[in-house]
Amino acid sequence: MAAKPRRVTAAIRSQAEDLRARIRHHDHRYHVLNQPEIADAEYDRLFRALVDLEAEFPALVTPDSPTQRVSGEPSEGFESVEHRQPMLSLSNVFDGDELRAWHERISRLIDTTDFALVCEPKIDGLAIALTYEQGRLVRGATRGDGLRGDDITPNLRTVRSIPLRLRLDETGAPAPPLLEVRGEVYLSRVEFDRLNGERAAAGEQLYMNPRNTAAGSLRQLDPSVTASRGLDFFAYQVGWADGSAAPAASQWEALAWVAAAGLPTNSHAERFDSLDEAAGFCASWADRRSELPYEIDGVVVKVDDFSLQRQLGTVGRDPRWATAYKLPSEQAVTRLERIDVSVGRTGVLTPFAVLDPVVIGGVLVGMATLHNEDQVREKDIRKGDDVIVQRAGDVIPQVIGPILSRRTTDLEEFSMPKSCPRCEEPVERDPAEAATRCINPDCPAQLAKLVQHYASRGGMDIEGFGEQLSERLVKEKFIKSLPDLYRLLPRRRKALLALEGIGDLLLDKLEKEINDSKERPLRRLLAALGIRHVGGETAEALATHFGSMKALQEASREELAEIDGIGSVVAESVYGYLHDRRHDRYIKRLAAAGVRMEDERAAIGGPLDGEVVVVTGALTRWSRNEAEALVKQLGGRVGGSVTKNTTYLVAGDGGGQKRDRSEALGTPVLDEEGFAALLEERGWTPPPVR
Ligand code: IVH
């Protein structure tokens, strides 16, 4: 018996409105701000709830409902462009049986089971379409809603693996005057970790996963920001959706053609003559996926022959000739034992989940991040819940959400502690951010994290001074404020030796490391101090511009904000830090301890006055150190990495990354000869070769 249709009541109307408001909110967080607050699965749930509701009450559908938009509304600042052929999506299968069923269905339509399949890893990134005219990249667009996308050509041009010009001579086929290549832009695990490392160093909120980060990077209005993100690309389609206009008769040939034309294709793609082999290949990726340097969420299985593809056609938005074999996500269900709170370097309190340990993707997971208070509430995660935990690549495991159907008793809602779990002083919630902070400047938890940060690789690089030692020395009151680091040795050697597990050997090494750190360049010191929003790049920009702590302290907010790569937010943060009495004392004490506060003074009026030169690779005429000394001697500054402020990269053999970055930023790259020629042009005569 069919259920009686329900009437549209005010309650149902407001339920729909509420869902829409929430979806719009998350759309904005995700698509525009690139700061999602909830996991994709959670969003899907909200979206599906709205779809279902509107299906039951079609009268409720408004033209501005999120369901009427599909996704990817062109953001302000990008022009919307129509795709020559719709960019399709894919049907899904979840195991070998479902793959077999798909194969049977299409076999019936084309009256044969004898056809080859091409299997390609399904990269978890973003689909884009590249247009080449006479072999030149003229346009790059996002998928958008499948019919229209955003023109993001300037951003895609910065992706190094996307050729600006095809190698059509290499293909052995006549060059098509107009060609569209489709593929996936993605962020590798390494790049993702690098970006998050930088953000952590700058005290900024971490990105959630590579896919969202890639999406945000493509949406930058400033292409140089996109360039700095290290995006990558794989091409998987040429011509139109069904292969027409492709210089090939099959997917396999098309991939070979694309590769010959100089586009990156995935090396793990394979062609199979039988379904069994293809199914075996698909299943094999469940265990192998973690070996890849990027994330995949399945395998795309395509009918190889383009004429068969055309016969099969599409249903709705999905081609019949392809399907996505989805891999089981790296998730597990386990009990949330309790929610603990940690205190970061800037005092931010972060809740994290202590779990009944569970193996996910071959790794034992006992803790997972909960990001912030709002997320815990939004997802309604409570102590004692059974929760879904996800591990994606090398990313910190995260709690996706509770399984509400398993919550049988009343569980206590989570609330942030009113006082710091470490120093017990009252905490404050900043209404502008989703952050609660311990504002006690003497909080030992913050101090320990600051000391660890100061000594870290990205900071003063004091080897052997990691998390544990920092924690311990703060706890045992050897370090009561940052500069105490320089009073440990030799002064407190005896007392330190009394600590368990600390011997002469370790202390000798530490003493040397700590002393060496006093000589680090200014940019390292600035990055080490833990000024909010100041990571390695900003520190470098400040150091190269000012050259000394004194000059930096004397700079006005306006002067700071004018420096390339430093906006008003960073300027305010730097200014605020330097004009805080406490920090001023820190800096005085560090200086008194012998920490260098300025970079070597460069010769004013020298041939390299005002230039910022980065040296990389193996040189023959000079050693790297000699070349750097020469730059300084001639009035230039030496940079550690290529930034917007770099004026020249001097590159010997190798030095690939810095070279790539220079090219992305448009920084001139000189070889040794070019560098010598530049100097000579500016009136410097090289000394006779020894
Ligand atoms: S083929 C009609 N091949 O998966 C053909 N897609 O749900 C559709 N994807 O939007 C695309 N790797 O973003 C294809 N080797 C691959 C792919 C791939 C990743 C993504 C792509 C597409 C989505 C389909």
Interval 658-681: pLDDT, tens: 888 888 888 899 988 889 888 888
Residue 428 CB coordination number (10 Å): 12
Compute the distance between CA of residue 92 and CA of residue 14 in angstroms, rounded to an integer: 33
The pLDDT of residue 32 is 36
Ligand 1 pocket check for 128: Cβ under 6 Å: no
Compute the distance between CA of residue 113 and CA of residue 402 in angstroms, rounded to an integer: 44
Q: Which of 40, 128, 236 to mutate to test the pocket of ligand 1 (most atoms within 8 A of CB)?
A: 236
Is-contact 199 205, C-beta < 8 A? yes
The pLDDT of residue 1 is 47
What's the CA-to-centroid distance between 321 and ligand 1, angstroms? 12
What's the CA-to-centroid distance between 567 and ligand 1, angstroms? 38
Active-site position among 4, 122, 383, 518: 122
Ligand 1 pocket check for 88: Cβ under 6 Å: yes
Structure tokens at 19: 């869902």
Structure tokens at 13: 């109307």
Structure tokens at 262: 């100089």
Ligand 1 pocket check for 322: Cβ under 6 Å: yes
Cis (ω within 30 of 0) for the bond into 490?
yes
What's the CA-to-centroid distance between 632 and ligand 1, angstroms? 51
What's the CA-to-centroid distance between 578 and ligand 1, angstroms? 50
Closest atom of ligand 1 relative to the 88 alpha carbon: 2
Residue ranges for the chain with pLDDT beneath 70:
1-4, 27-35, 63-66, 68-76, 170-171, 173-175, 205, 241-244, 361-362, 392-395, 601-604, 655, 686-690
Pick the closest to residue 211 from 36, 420, 12, 17 (CA basis).
36
Closest atom of ligand 1 relative to the 269 alpha carbon: 15
Compute the distance between CA of residue 34 and CA of residue 205 in angstroms, rounded to an integer: 11
Is-contact 143 129, C-beta < 8 A? yes
Say whether 122 is catalytic. yes
Name which residue sits closest to atom 18 of ligand 1, judged by CA.
Answer: 122
Pick the closest to residue 543 from 584, 558, 557, 528 (CA basis).
528
CA atoms within 13 A on the CB side of 70: 14
pTM over 0.85: no
Structure tokens at 610: 């005002």
Ligand 1 pocket check for 122: Cβ under 6 Å: yes
Residue 660 CB coordination number (10 Å): 14
Class of domain 10-69: mainly alpha
Tell me the percentage of the chain whose pLDDT exceeds 90.
48
pLDDT tens-digit map of 379-391: 899 999 999 998 8
Ligand 1 pocket check for 324: Cβ under 6 Å: yes
Could you tell me where in the chain the CATH 1.10.150.20 domains are found? Answer: 444-517, 522-592
Ligand 1 pocket check for 258: Cβ under 6 Å: no
The CATH architecture that domain 444-517 belongs to is Orthogonal Bundle (1.10)
Is-contact 342 433, C-beta < 8 A? no
What's the CA-to-centroid distance between 298 and ligand 1, angstroms? 10
What's the CA-to-centroid distance between 237 and ligand 1, angstroms? 9
Three-class DSSP category at 490: coil
Longest dimension (CA), the chain: 100
Q: Which of 71, 142, 300 to mutate to test the pocket of ligand 1 (most atoms within 8 A of CB)?
A: 300
Class of domain 522-592: mainly alpha
Ligand 1 pocket check for 119: Cβ under 6 Å: no
Q: Which of 94, 118, 123 to mutate to test the pocket of ligand 1 (most atoms within 8 A of CB)?
A: 123
DSSP states of 320-388 as a string?
A: TTEEEEEPPPSEEEEEEEEEEEEE-TT-EEEEEEEEEEEEETTEEEEEEE---HHHHHHTT--TT-EEE
The pLDDT of residue 523 is 92
Is-contact 299 325, C-beta < 8 A? yes
Could you tell me where in the chain the CATH 1.10.287.610 domains are found? Answer: 10-69
Could you tell me where in the chain the CATH 3.30.470.30 domains are found? Answer: 91-326
What's the CA-to-centroid distance between 121 and ligand 1, angstroms? 9
Class of domain 91-326: alpha beta
Closest atom of ligand 1 relative to the 124 alpha carbon: 19
Name which residue sits closest to atom 13 of ligand 1, judged by CA.
Answer: 127
Ligand 1 pocket check for 90: Cβ under 6 Å: yes
Q: Give the mean pLDDT of the chain.
A: 87
What's the CATH code, domain 331-439? 2.40.50.140
Compute the distance between CA of residue 298 and CA of residue 286 in angstroms, rounded to an integer: 8
CATH assignment of 612-681, given 3.10.310.40, 3.40.50.800, 3.60.21.10, 3.40.50.10190? Answer: 3.40.50.10190
Is-contact 238 257, C-beta < 8 A? yes
